[in-house]
Amino acid sequence: MHQTTVRFGPDLWQAMERECARLGVSAAQYLREAALARLAYTGGRAGFPAYELALARAEAGGDLAESRRALIRPRRVVRPDHRAAATETMTDSSAVVAQSRQARAQAREVRRHSAELRTAERVRG
């Protein structure tokens, strides 16, 4: 995975922080998902065949098996190398989603533990 620094003006950063809090995701996760959405949008508009599997999956409500069946009867031919690239992209995005779930679960656990500590401190206090 690659790491980079992104600079934001105060207004944009505050807006993004509010949206992240509303969604319950970190700023890093929000930016990863935004980048993925932008790439998917650009690829779709350009008609790149590598996005066919992702599109078929979205149309199938996220069901991978159904999306693969949809690819059997595509509107245009999807070359095997493009299909592999789309599958790899889906695997990568699934890993990011899993990482986000794990981070949210860990954050909930930290908040729960913190609340327990505060309660114990009040009882002792």
Could you read off the pLDDT of 40-62 as tens digits, one per residue? 777 777 767 666 666 666 666 65
- 76: CB partners within 8 A, 6+ apart: 49, 52
Residue 119: pLDDT above 60? Answer: yes
Query: What was the pLDDT predicted at 11?
Result: 94
CB 38 within 8 A of CB 51: no
- Identify the top-confidence range among 4-8, 33-37, 95-99: 4-8
Query: What was the pLDDT predicted at 91?
Result: 72
The mean predicted confidence, pLDDT, of the chain is 77
Label each residue of the chain as H, E or C.
Answer: CCCCCCCCCHHHHHHHHHHHHHHCCCHHHHHHHHHHHHHHHHHHHHCCHHHHHHHHHHHCCCCHHHHHHHHHCCCCCCCHHHHHHHHHHHHHHHHHHHHHHHHHHHHHHHHHHHHHHHHHHHHHC
